[in-house]
Structure 1
Amino acid sequence: MGSTYDYVIVGAGSAGAVVAARLSEDPDVRVCLLEAGGPPPPAELVPAAVASLQNNPVTDWMFNGDPGGVGKGLVGGQMMVPRGKMLGGSSGLNYMAYVRGHPGDFDSWAAGGAEGWSYAEVLPYFLKAEGFVDSPELQPDRDQHGHNGPVGVSVRQPILRASTQFVEAAGAAGLKQGDYNGRDRLDPDGVASLFQTTTKDGRRSSTFHAYLEPAMDRANLTVVTGALVERILLEADGETDGEAVRATGVAYRTEEGLHEEVAAGTEVVLCAGAIGSPHILLLSGVGARDELAAVGVECVVDLPDVGRHLKDHLHTPLMFAADGIGETMTEVALSLGPDALRAPAGPLPADPADDVDLPEPLAAAKAEAERRIGEWFTTGRGLASSSLYDAVAFFSTGLGDEHTHDAQIGFLATGYTPPIWEGVFRLPPSAFFDDPESFLDPTRGQVVVLPNPVQPHSEGSVTLASADPTVAPRIDLNYFDDPHDVVVMIAVMRRALEIAKAWPGGGLGEPVIPPHLARAHGHEAGTDPSDALLEDLARHYALTVYHETSTCRIGDVVDPRLRVHGIDALRVADASVMPNVVSGNTNAAAIMIGEKAAELIATDHGVNLHEMVG
């Protein structure tokens, strides 16, 4: 076996980077962090460049999943499942939404047996992580926010007027305008706001930038990139006559194809995410015995729930095109030239003085594009500082748990953009139009409203497709397996249509209905779509919100201190341990889990952290 450390951490993502940085605060503790990807590229800092990081083999695992009851209209019938493959993980390629979830989510976890995970008990870890930047765009509950934590959290001054119009329309439709990470989240009518995002000075604040980068020079922290983990090394503990199993280290493969091992003297901490963590456990022989045998993996610990209970959020894009919408990205792009939406932007320069490498179709718009990119480089402002996923609403449909919200509506200040719709979302050009080119009209604003049920009942799974660690796991998303989720989706879509009707200036009109679905359902322009049409729209074009959780959940796979059942010296600390998905975007909760996990480990083993919550 190779080098020995006190702790070996697998995965440098939203939680893993936090655990590594916190444990290495103690100079007497030796920490090794293994990451399959490399450092994030320069574009990772640029909020507007988010789409260039997804479906990109350098930064994304590029997983595919079986969507189950949806995906009928997607190219290939498969759902993309973006997962970050770089230092910072998915916190480096997400849309930067900072949403804790509803307090009732965590209280439900605790009531179900996750001792220590109620909202009152996890809030201090949220506050420890957060460095909220005051903004005139939001009057927050100051005591409900952290102000000195490493993760920059801010509310951007809206770059595009359409984003504030969404919040105004939601208010007119009955939702309170306020702080969804504060007490306003408890409002029975729901709450709408511009997004709080993991950004600071217009730049992404991933866990790499917030936690890991400042710690990289520590002599007691070793970060190994390009390390594809093959399995956790497990052996019987002779002191208990072979009945107990202990994690002793990790086997991994280098980028050059060499097989290496690293030993853990105290613990292995698995932080590979809701897809990666169960995959590695299964490869290590921890899972359902019969399923492991089917792919030739010897079962070491029979733990059938590994990879089960996968939860994810699903949203259905409702696109609107109308006069009177405030400036949107579609209009801005078309103003740069007639071909601006027909080719993706080129790579961003490392220095603002460098030339911007734009594809040929954008040559006519080169000067304006350079000006906008330069504005971001010098001030952190402008269009490049926004992912365009700028506003949100949370509320209850009345169909779910009365102690939380079961609905979210996101807002994109853009419309039909072929490189993203076709290249990233896998929506074919004919998905919404008989003639897509006719829709690129610079005189009309375009926006997308994203209805999203956030307490789904359907559960998917992550299983082995092969015993070969280079082969991606089989991901069964199993959307709409439970009919309840269909009913809630239709209800959330209806509420989104109400918000569209309340849009300042007389409403947005009806959404763009795919012609083939309109014909199939006999839908006439100017009439409200039927429930059957809305369901069909969701079954064809609903998309993952990238919120996979619960595949190693507390109770079934780990105990409330995140220790894997039946194995000593092995914990899991990432979104996979959530007993259920939170009612909102998941990155903030994953960071919180990293903070809490570091303190649990420190308490159990006497590690001296700079600051302890408990």
Structure 2
Amino acid sequence: MPLSQIVGNLSVWASFPAFVLYYLFYSSFEFNNPEGRVSDTTTFLNAYDFIVIGAGSSGSVVANRLTEMSDSKVLLLEAGGDETIISDIPGVVHHLQRTNIDWSYKTVPQTGSCLAFKDNRCIWPRGKVLGGTSVLNYMVYARGNKQDYDQWEADGNPGWSYKDVLPYFIKSEDNRNPYIAANKEYHGTGGYLTVEEPTYKTPLLAAFIQAGVEMGYENVDCNAAQQTGFMVAQATGRRGTRCSTAKAFLRPIRKRPNLYISMRSLVHKIIIDSSTKQATAVRFEKGGQIYEVRANKEIIVSAGTVNSPQLLMLSGIGPKDHLNSLGIPLMADLPVGDNLQDHIALGGMVFTINKPFGVVEARYYSLSSLLNYTMHGTGPLASLGGTEGVAWVKTKYAPPGDWPDIQYHFVSATPASESGLFFRYNTNMKDNVWDNYYKPIINTDMWQLIPTLLRPKSRGTIRLASNDPYAVPVIDPKYFSNNEDLDVLIEGTKIALALSKTEAFQLLGTKFYDKIFPGCESHTPWTDAYWGCFIRHYSSAIYHMTGTCKMGPSTDATAVVDPQLRVHGIKGLRVVDCSIMPNVVSGNTNVPAIMIGEKASDMIKAEWLRRKMNAIDVDREEM
């Protein structure tokens, strides 16, 4: 069903005058804003020094930092267009999926997960827009765990320990929470990326934090010295609006004369010299015309965990047998598309309350709510799609120390809080599941806790469907192919249930919605077998796909790029995005993607500075 038809059914359009007011305010602000929107390049040079493919969470950073070298011309290619007015509003995030700013990917049918969704296929939103998935996500600012990065280094990637990457997190950050920004050891101010708490909170958030304390957890800044604990969500927000990486890193530098941004430009192939194995040019389509431009220095692929391996394989870099089967000439036999990881979660755990605190549609899209947001940048529309708090806890399976294995996203809304029409469309949920399970409690005051598996052992793959660059990649995450993943998530679910029984939540009349989930009727309720069935049915991806162009030394047969993020065996080509993660970090991945962009940019600049200095030394010797 087209999005326009769905939107046409929403009661929000009864408040259309408020949207007009907001549009007029926003347009005026953009016109006078020194960080206004970027211009689209329509004519191209024959060559640039650097070509960056993908303007997402990493690519936007790389383009920014490389243009700091004023003598280097940088072309940034993005398959999508610019952000929209609607995508700027945090509270409508769940309406952005499966629109024209989303690649709208689905997995292949799964046998052990996503069983509540049509054809057993999981929805995989990926940003097709300047700013990439930072435009579609729920804006949670989280860095991962110290031990994640120390493990990367221990696995043969020098320079990627926590002490090495922390300065890059700080470098990007402009934290506007005074009590957090005061901790200079872990936080920064003055960076491009604005970080602040959402301007709207419900009383449910205080209950969530207090419930964690009752269970023995501390209320801490989980992006600082200790990750285990409960916290108010920190967000990539700015004055009540979304702070995407395009807004943070591209708009402020849009007038640099050496930056060229081309939107709606789909890259078909990276041209590689078969004899020298040098990446020389990029072929892309824009407006129905094919262009081929050279890179004098490097090509940087920042297209994301799905599209980066897709592009490498289309260019002849990937598993030999797979490429041969598609008639693609082999340039490098590498395990591109393997090692796919994702944070899988239970998405359907709902708790009702007897207080009017939930984010229900009638409050969300009222005229007063829209005007409050337009005029003051607050109210429900300033919330992170209802996400108010996050927490990291340890199950009995977790290793010693501060390395939790479950993350919670605490949400003052649930699937039944949203329009049923939108919800079923966005998730592809089977009609009988919606009708039998969620429809009876639609628009009831509720909250939701989403237990998320942090370090999955299951591994999936990305493969090409054909050698056509327009063909959708074949995505097979193989969730729960390792049963240990399910065991950990079951424990996380039971801890979530215990949290709901604390005094803090019971004061709000909290009650677990204990209707048996469709498809799990044969299991004894509340046993591990039942929870496992529930999880396998309502398996929810959390946008954290990683690993498909794995970083590792040349001795690692599973690696695609080296610790400098250079593609093994190919000169002049790097991958810079979450696909390089050897193992997914223990938290949301948007901010680590930004860190990767920052660190890679310094690597690239340092290498070309060395080459320049070496060339000067050679010239002096010849004189």
SS of the equivalent of 1:223 reads strand
- 1:355-387 per-residue CA deviation (whole Å, 9 max, x = no partner) reads xxxxxxxxxxxxxx2332222222211111112
Please provide the CA RMSD for this pair.
2.0
Which 5+ residue runs of structure 1 have no aligned equivalent? Answer: 237-241, 337-344, 346-368, 524-528, 609-614
**SS of residue in 1 equivalent to 2:294:** strand
TM-score normalised to the size of structure 2? 0.86
Residue 104 (structure 1) shift: 0.6
User: Matched residue of 2:485: which SS?
Assistant: helix
CA deviation after TM superposition for structure 1 residue 394, in Å: 0.2
| Residue 171 of structure 1: how far off its partner (Å) | 1.8
| Aligned equivalent of 1:179 | 221
CA distance in 2, matches of 1:306, 1:504: 48
State the partner residue of 2:35. Answer: none
- Of 39, 61, 84, the match for 2:103: 61
Offset at residue 192 of structure 1 (A) = 0.5
User: Secondary structure, in 3 states, of the residue corresponding to 1:144?
Assistant: coil
Separation in 2, partners of 1:296, 1:563: 25
Confirm whether residue 392 of structure 1 aligns to residue 395 of structure 2.
no
Q: 1:19 to 1:511 in 2, by over 3 A?
A: same
Give the counterpart letter for 1:249 in structure 2: A
- Does structure 2 conserve the Cα–Cα contact (< 8 Å) formed by 1:193 and 1:391? yes
Q: Specify whether residues 537 and 107 from structure 1 end up closer, same or farther in structure 2 by C-alpha distance, changes over 3 A only.
A: same
User: Structure 2, unaligned stretches of length 5 or more?
Assistant: 1-43, 553-558, 612-623
Pick from 280, 286, 289: which aligns with 2:320?
289
Which residue of 298, 301, 310 maps to 1:270? 301
Q: In the alignment, which of 510, 516, 521 is matched to residue 523 of structure 2? A: 521
Deviation at 1:519, TM superposition (A): 3.2
Aligned equivalent of 2:282, options 240, 250, 257: 250
Partner of 2:336: 306
Partner of 2:241: 203
- Select the residue among 586, 591, 595 that pairs with 1:592: 595
Relative to structure 1, the CA distance from residue 135 to residue 203 in structure 2 (aligned partners, 3 Å threshold; closer, same or farther) is farther
Q: CA deviation at 1:421?
A: 2.8
Aligned partner of 1:374 among 356, 371, 376: 371
User: For 1:485 and 1:319, how far apart are their aligned partners in 2?
Assistant: 18
Instruction: Give the Cα separation in 2 of the matches to 1:437 and 1:145.
Output: 44
Q: Separation in 2 of the partners of 1:139 and 1:287?
A: 44
Residue 354 of structure 2 is aligned with which of 301, 305, 324?
324
Given that 1:109 and 1:117 are in contact with CA atoms closer than 8 Å, whether structure 2 keeps it comes out as yes
Cα offset for 1:432?
A: 6.0
Q: What is the CA-CA distance between 1:93 and the residue it aligns to?
A: 0.9
- 2:69 is the alignment partner of 1:26: yes
Residue in 2 aligned with 1:339?
none
**Structure richer in helix, relative to its length:** 2
Using structure 1 for the length normalisation, give the TM-score: 0.87
Structure 1 position 2, deviation (Å): 5.8
Q: How many angstroms does 1:170 deviate by?
A: 1.7
8 Å Cα contact 1:201/1:380 also seen in 2 = yes
Instruction: Return closer, same or farther for 1:247/1:210 CA change in 2, 3 Å cut-off.
Output: same
Checking the alignment, whether the CA contact within 8 Å between 1:5 and 1:31 is kept in structure 2 is yes
Q: Deviations over 1:96-143 (max 9, x none)?
A: 01100010100010111111000000000000011101257x686342
Residue 251 to residue 399, structure 1, CA distance change in 2 (3 Å): same
Superposed displacement of residue 216, structure 1: 1.5
- Tell me, in whole angstroms, the C-alpha distance in 1 between the residues paired with 2:534 and 2:137: 25
Alpha-carbon deviation of 1:31?
A: 0.3
User: What residue identity is the alignment partner of 1:145?
Assistant: H
8 Å CA contact retained: 2:353, 2:511? no
Does residue 561 (structure 1) correspond to residue 564 (structure 2)? The answer is yes
Stretch of structure 1 that moved more, 270-279 or 388-397: 388-397
Equivalent residue, structure 2, for 1:475: 475
1:210-609 aligned at under 5 Å gives the runs 210-236=248-274, 242=275, 244-254=276-286, 256-303=287-334, 305-325=335-355, 327-330=357-360, 333-334=361-362, 369-387=366-384, 388-402=386-400, 404-415=403-414, 416=416, 417=418, 418-431=420-433, 434=436, 436-440=438-442, 442=444, 445-502=445-502, 504=504, 506=506, 508-517=510-519, 519-523=521-525, 529-555=526-552, 556-606=559-609
CA distance in 1, matches of 2:347, 2:503: 17
Distance 1:45 1:596, change over 3 A: same
Deviations 1:309-347 (A, max 9, x none): 0010011024334333560112xx2458xxxxxxxx7xx
1:239 aligns with: none
Aligned length: 554
Letter of the 1:398 partner, please give it: K
Contact 1:68 1:480 in 2 (8 A): no
User: Are 2:314 and 2:328, in contact at CA under 8 Å, matched by a contact in 1?
Assistant: yes
1:286 CA drift (Å)? 0.3
Cα separation, partners in 2 of 1:157 and 1:225, compared to 1, 3 Å: closer
Secondary structure in 2 aligned to 1:22?
helix
